[in-house]
Structure 1
């Protein structure tokens, strides 16, 4: 809306109103010592966030923020000097709808004289062009430029631009350091910095970039300081006609990365060679150990077989000698003969145990499906005499079916049951219990390897009420020839539990024992479920 000035001003109202209404910029006219608003167009009202109510009022009263921003001083200078004032990107905070908002203006303050002879302006034209969007855009662009420069600096990146037509290279400080460039360097000179063996990589990447717009390559540089690795990633630049005019790229020095990668590669190769050598040595050692074990087993079987015959003769002839000399031996001589017979008997048991131990793990054996309930009944039948002698009570629960070696499992449970019946307390009937249940490796009372923690196992326990043992002996009793009691009280070679341990190893399981002197012993067998049903 255009409001006419008071009649006191001698102006051509029609022409002035037309000028104001069609003006592409914001305009207002102020006059008098208080700079009363005489005329204002809609665009100025929009810029100032005001209404036509400011017409006829002093500018300082209507726009209180004008005083704070020094505009009244500018109007006073125009009034006194009669000269125009031009301000670019003038920053002002305008109250709009009760809120303070920043604005930027290009301002013109031009004096208006009614007569050419007037020395003091009768009014002042105020023209404002709102450039807030442009200024904020430039500020945002400058901030983005600063952030980009900071990112390049932090990442130790450089920028390089090539003009193929002018054969000119423009590089920032970092790129100049990497390529060791000087002012006025040409494109050909820049390319010559690239190692001859790597120039084809660059050419191929740039050729591809001409097709899809971008390119990337890694190459070595031949510079005075030596060989340096660089990575370039950029865009092909074209003119309005679509013809290639040059390129723009970001450059990164990757020499340290390449040297580290090369050193790591060399170290890996060295370690691989060492590992291969160690593996070869280990395989050779395993073969030698396997051959030694085989020879030892052969020797043990041969020795056991060869020893059985003389021991058998010792037993036979000592028994006959006792019968012949029965009425002629003194008490001491008879005691000596009995000791000889017991020693021969122990020797015979030891030879049998050694032979059984040497036969464990023979490759010729095949796994079978074995019902432990039937196996235990068969063993108990074999031990019937000993069970009656000890007045033993044997309790068994329903036992699982396993995939295993029949003879070995026979030896395992026969040795455990024989021990339970052998190591009884005098005058106390033996009581043996065999039970089973399923559990996971992390539920077992002893720590198992990590690979077995989540596996399922059959736990089979053989417990008795015999003489027991101290728990600190729980691991030692599985060593060959280990005996916790003398031959006078309990006969044996001390090899039965070592056989049990080896049988469990062959079946991929575990065995451990719990004992308490005078209370009894409990032997726990863990068979992996993947070997059972």
Structure 2
């Protein structure tokens, strides 16, 4: 109300001000015109006196000229001739002044023309007399006649002068009357104007005083609004560059609520630029909104997310141009926006879940039906129709049609189950045969639960097509039986390999040993060679059997995973390989190795096999050196780990770097395959199973093993174990 009253008062004040200014200007115009008239009439009176004086002065000059001419005629003194010429010059100057002073008066201009004509004849007579005055032929009577002519011209000049004086007297009389009238009216008009101006000033003072009170009330009202409002209200003025482009905004005013939002004190930021206080407004598009508001003079509303003191806050803002700047009203809508976003997110998740549920139902072959027990009405789901091969219009949802799709041999039992559901509200999980549209038998598993909605008794039934599951279950049972037989055979093989196959080898080795002890010295060199090969082959066969048994037992379920310190594993392997390390002058460098979740003796097998492999393929004449390092890596950093167990995100990488003979990188995977060798068995010993066992162990630990090699420079064997 106060604001509207102030606006109305401003309009009334503006109208009164315009009327007062108009009247003042009108009176001032009249007063100015009257003053100009008074000044003009006063000037005209003075001008009339000046013209009269100049006319009398002109006539006196003519009289003086006449006197000098007579003196010259009487005395014949040539000195008077100069005086006569001087008189003529002054007469000409006086006529020019009179002509200038009376240029506006046609009567006086006509009188001046007449005087000029008389003057010219007068001068001609004087010139003639002065030229012939000393001529002997001229007599006194001629001179007298000429003198009479001079008197006649002077008389005409005198008459003409009298006419001019009379004209000026007439003008003087008129101008005096105007002067008297103006001298009386001008003071009165000035008094009226002063009185009116005083009245306007008194009225203006009264209105200003009233408006001042109203402004104070309005300011108090606005201050109360600014103090009680929940909005941040600010006023900004644009800052321009030399090209008259807006480059910044100055904070002219902001209410105290700004401190609760940003922590800034209102009085401290007033007078500063937004580029100093809120530079982020140039990055989130708000500065461009301010520019558009000023340049296009339009109200702009927008919503933005801000972060003040680490807290995210949403504000609804309204920018309105006011004068040269803009007023910004900011309302905190964080709570509403969070709720709105949560609802949107919830709706999106519900939509996704519905889509996923539909897809899941289709993939899992699940349908449903809604049975309203009180009304005995049933409604089939869309996916149930698809599972039966019908379109909705081909099989209406009803209790009768539900019984109709059940296999005739199962129908009686199914009907009995539904009756139990209706009477006792109990339903267990049952599987029945159904007939689809093509009369093919399918196995459907029925289950469900009761829902109380609006006091309505509803049973929600869930149906799943388990035909494939039952068939797969049957196949799985057969395969399990086959697997049991295979496992039994494998156990038999292990027993044979561990006892029956190794027993003949032990006997061969025992008998060869006895031959060596008794008859070896009497054998020929060729026979000795044969026995050496038999002994070597028997030993190699024993190792093959041992490694094969080890390989087959790696994934045994009785193996126990535990915390395994790889530093301790390395120490035990060094002790086990002490003779090999000493014989080959092997140097093993290692850093602090991690503790992993694994099978201890299998970790020892990996370390032993990789170290033995590096020693086997050392370079001749080069002291073998093996460096063992460990590092922690992220799964996404190693492409080879992408297909492994998704439960693990971090892995330990254990690397063994040697300076042996190396290998071509193209063989980096072949060397881990069973019985694969890059060199002949006579060139380098070994069974071709050691690295395969390492691969089997690493895979058993959900890891990955690989190798890099360069011929003649060495190789790096590495494996990854998950961090558990």
TM-score range, shorter chain: 0.3 to 0.5
Q: Of Structure 1 and Structure 2, which has the larger fraction of its residues in helix?
A: 2
